[in-house]
Chain A
Amino acid sequence: MKINISKIIIFSFVIFFLSIFWQGLKINNNYDTKSLIGNQISNFQLAKLDNNTQYISEKDLAENTYTLINFFASWCSPCRNEHKYLLNLSNEKKQIKIIGINFKDKKNNAMNFLNELGNPYDFVGTDSDGKISILFGIYGIPESILVDSDLTIIKKIVGPINQFQYDKILKLIQ
């Protein structure tokens, strides 16, 4: 076999592919976004749910001591379960601001949801096609992210907030 450039290229390509597969076997596939803790929130811009001309961005978050970003939707039943904890949090703890991001939802449904259960949010942004939520590593809702004033993620909650998670949040913001 005569060795020439194209053969070398093809062989190295195959070797590259196979070694990636080999490495791929070793990585843990249970999608875990805990690694996001310690990362900083980067640029984002969210339109307000009931007013498309108002926006919120990471600069607004920097003004709060703590911000809890909560991803919710009217069609998501576990979101209803965690709602009372969010209401408690917004009523009792003034050092934390809560931002709701309405995920893949229709505006009217979301408004009805908040009218029915109460609105714990200081700002409700809309992400109707779910694209901005990807930036936060969201793959299923409800999910919540706790951020401090440096925009660093200090906690990430996958699934609904329960008493246990609620107490943990309180501890973190003391």
Chain B
Amino acid sequence: MLSNIGICLIILVLILSFLIIYTASIDLKISREAIKKNIYKLSLFQITFTILSFFTLIIGFINSDFSLINVYENSHTTKPFFYKIAGTWGNHEGSLLLWINILVLFSYLFLVFSHTHDKKFRLYTLIFQNILILGFLFFLLFNSNPFNSIYPIPLEGLGLNPILQDPALAIHPPLLYVGFVGCSIYFSAAMASLLSGYGGKSFAQSIKTWVKISWCFQTLGIIVGSIWAYYELGWGGFWFWDPVENASLLPWFAITALMHSLIVLEKRNTLYYWVIILCLSTFTLSVTGTFLVRSGILNSVHTFASDPSRGVYILIFLSLMIFSALTIFFLKHKKETYNFNLKSRETFILANNWFMAFFLITVLIGMLYPIFLDVLTNEKISVGPPFFNIVIIPLVVPFLALMAIGPKFGWIKSQKKIFNKILLLTLGAIVINLLIVYFFGKYSLLSNFIFIAAIFLILYSFLDIKKLINNKNKTELPRVISHLGFGLLVFFIGINHQFSLEEDFNLKVGEIKKINNYKINFEEIKIKESKNYKAIIGNFKLTNVEGNLVQYLNPEIRIYSNPETLTYEAAIKTKITSDLYLTMSNVSRSDYYNIKFQKKPFMIWIWISALMITLGGFIRLTLKKNED
């Protein structure tokens, strides 16, 4: 039943997309001011049916309707209600439907909210967006249909991969999708702008809000994913330079560059073609990322979502996208002349763009090099953290400094004298850095530079905040918060990296292990039966040298029944100044357990500062037009 309803709805959406493209192309030739009412109605129907189809699938999951293959493969009657719903997008087919929902939603919202802009431009945007929608609808129908049915109907489902049964992961994909798929609207808008000749300042204004929205959600989505990796994967880290994490970083670099250069286009009416390139590449990189992840070309923690036959389809789609974008771009491209003064804000924003481009290319090379080598020479390698750390980290130093200084310059040509302030703050940063070295321990020369640069940015941001409060000026607040967040992020990651304590050892019940100032006492093992798994829980008493209790830690080994999987749950105690982290794994045919103990200073502050970066973006969304 649900299968038929779902497929009907999808076909209706498909027909509506064709109709929208058709009526919009006719309306293009009519020289009237307003867009035909019909197009609004068609779009409204389109979004309604799309959302309905998604709800149909959710209902299938809630009711455990195993006549749908998708539900059968990814759900189970004993699964908690919350994860039944989250299971809807926890698999390839369902997430593709979510992807289409967002494409359609953005298409509709753009149509409704862009009424102050040129008619031709809006219609072209609508047409391109609907071509994208069609592409993904065909993909869904012919390759990855979540509404495919199965007969005879199985009595029980196969269950959701237990590592996906986590609150952070339930919201991680929707956030990322709003972020990544949201980019589609200014991909379409950029193509439309080239074709309709509606460029410059007004183009910047038309896509500004959409860029901000997708930037905020992308950033938040990446952070939530990282939090999930830290708490659930139990590897004791928060960023692994895993291919899929890298895939999510690529569009983020592009969109961050876009968000900055868009300001230049809006205020100074220059850099138009550069902004167009960034608009086009942000969504192209999103689709490339999806291709690499879903086709299984890259191996990583996300390979549960891979299948080569999908790859062929996405690759064809991606090729069409790139070639049409390039062709239209080259047809319409004219030479732009730039006239930037060195001491102006636009120069610094351009510098930001060069850094972003550098980071993007570095990550891209690190990600694609193994694939290229495999294809061309049949050699298997993997590019790991050392590559990224060596190439990226040194450049973070000037990047941080420019983040502090850049916004101080005015547009066109700045006369401000800020040299004394910079000197003073640099001295301040050096002193604070020396204090850290003196009290907590030495680190490498490069780390010294990074700490100094980060502290410099933090100090400068605090000065800015003080000034903002005095002037009661809100417009600069989002920028200051995001930049401060970035400074703090680098600072806390640095502290965390330098002063973490990590120890690996084997222990059996009743034994005590001494580490630095701590004693770990393995007191007992308990077995707990839960709804969908059985858990072996270790009880570890952590005391300091004087014997005072610091913390009880209870890591678990979980044995899930549907599907049968072992997961290792780390015991993580988060405190204001540090995280205590302990995992245990069984050593077969032995009473010993392998224990990994870590003390990670300021873990929570890494999340807080990362969230601050996003917070800045969200605040900017709430500012009224004239304040922005």
Contact B505–A27 (Cβ < 8 Å): no
Which stretch (B308-316, B418-426, B437-445, B471-479) binds chain A? B308-316
- Whether A1 pairs with B318 at a CB distance below 8 angstroms is no
A14 contacts B326, CB within 8 Å?
yes
Tell me the dominant secondary structure on chain A's binding face. helix
Q: Which residues of A contact B376 (CB under 8 A)?
A: 20
Stretch at the interface among B44-52, B404-412, B583-591, B618-626: B583-591
Query: Could you tell me if A11 and B326 are in contact, using CB atoms closer than 8 angstroms?
Result: yes
Docked-complex contact B330 and A1, CB < 8 angstroms: yes
Check B564 for interface membership: any CB of A closer than 8 A: no
Chain A residues within an 8 Å CB radius of B327: 1
Q: Is there a chain A Cβ closer than 8 Å to B77's Cβ? A: no
Which of A22, A33, A35, A109 makes the CB contact (< 8 A) with B504? A109
- Chain B residue at minimum C-beta to C-beta distance from A130: B384
Which residues from 491 to 531 on chain B have a C-beta closer than 8 Å to any C-beta of chain A? Answer: 504-506
Segment touching A, from B17-25, B183-191, B294-302:
B294-302
Please determine whether A20 and B371 come into contact, CB atoms closer than 8 angstroms.
Answer: yes
Cα distance, A75 to B590, chains bound together (Å): 13
B331 CB-CB contact with A under 8 Å = yes
- Beta-carbon contact of A27 and B374 below 8 Å: yes
**Nearest CB in chain A: distance from B501 CB, A:** 14
The answer to whether A80 touches B590 (Cβ under 8 A) is: yes
Q: Is A31 an interface residue (CB 8 A)?
A: yes
Inter-chain CA distance A81–B323, complex, in Å, is: 56
Q: Which residue of B322, B378, B594 is within 8 Å of A18 (Cβ)?
A: B322
Docked-complex contact A29 and B505, CB < 8 angstroms? no
Closest CB in chain A relative to B528 CB, distance in Å: 23
Task: Determine if B312 and A25 form an interchain contact, defined as CB atoms under 8 angstroms apart.
Answer: yes
Question: Is the beta-carbon distance between A77 and B315 smaller than 8 angstroms?
Answer: no
The contact string, 1 if C-beta is below 8 Å from chain B, for chain A 1-38, is: 10000010011001001101111110101010101000
Closest residue of B by beta carbon distance from A160: B588
Q: Mark A78-100, 1 if CB is under 8 A from B, else 0.
A: 10110000000000000000000
| B296 near A29: Cβ-Cβ < 8 Å | yes
Residue pairs across A and B with CB atoms within 8 Å: the count is 67
Contact A29 B319 (CB under 8 A): no
- B296, B299, B319 — which one has the most chain A CB atoms within 10 A of its CB? B319
CA distance in complex: A81, B318 (Å):
49
| Interface flag for B108 (CB, 8 Å) | no
CB distance from B243 to the nearest CB of A (A): 12
CB-based contact A77/B374 at 8 Å: no
B323→A77 contact, CB < 8 A = no
Interchain CB contact under 8 A, A18 and B319: yes
CB of B78, distance to nearest CB on chain A (Å): 31
A136–B585 Cα gap in the complex (Å)? 27
B291 CB-CB contact with A under 8 Å: yes
Nearest A residue (CB) for B371: A24
Name the distance in Å between A116's Cβ and chain B's nearest Cβ.
Answer: 10
Which residues 281-338 of B have a CB within 8 angstroms of A? 291, 295-297, 299, 308, 311-312, 315, 318-319, 322-323, 326-327, 330-331
In the bound assembly, the distance between CA atoms of A145 and B331 in angstroms comes to 58
Which of the residues A7, A22, A31 comes within 8 Å of B315, measured between beta carbons? A22
- Which residues, 96 to 155 on A, are CB-close (under 8 Å) to B? 106, 109, 137
Please, which residues of chain A bring their CB within 8 A of the CB of B32?
Answer: none
Query: CA separation between A153 and B487, bound complex, in Å?
Result: 51
Note all chain A residues with C-beta closer than 8 A to B315. Answer: 18, 21-22, 25
Q: B residues within 8 Å of A by Cβ?
A: 291, 295-297, 299, 308, 311-312, 315, 318-319, 322-323, 326-327, 330-331, 368, 371-372, 374-376, 378, 380, 504-506, 585-590, 594
17 chain-A/chain-B pairs, Cβ below 8 angstroms: A10-B326, A18-B322, A20-B376, A21-B297, A21-B371, A22-B315, A24-B295, A24-B297, A24-B374, A24-B375, A25-B297, A27-B374, A31-B380, A77-B587, A77-B594, A80-B589, A81-B589
What are the 5 closest A-B residue pairs judged by CB atoms, nearest first?
A77-B587, A23-B375, A25-B311, A24-B297, A24-B371
Q: List A residues at the B interface (Cβ < 8 Å).
A: 1, 7, 10-11, 14, 17-18, 20-25, 27, 29, 31, 33, 35, 74-75, 77-78, 80-81, 106, 109, 137
**What 11 new A-B contacts, CB under 8 Å, besides A18-B322, A24-B375, A106-B504?**
A7-B330, A17-B368, A20-B371, A23-B375, A25-B312, A75-B594, A77-B585, A77-B590, A80-B587, A80-B588, A81-B588
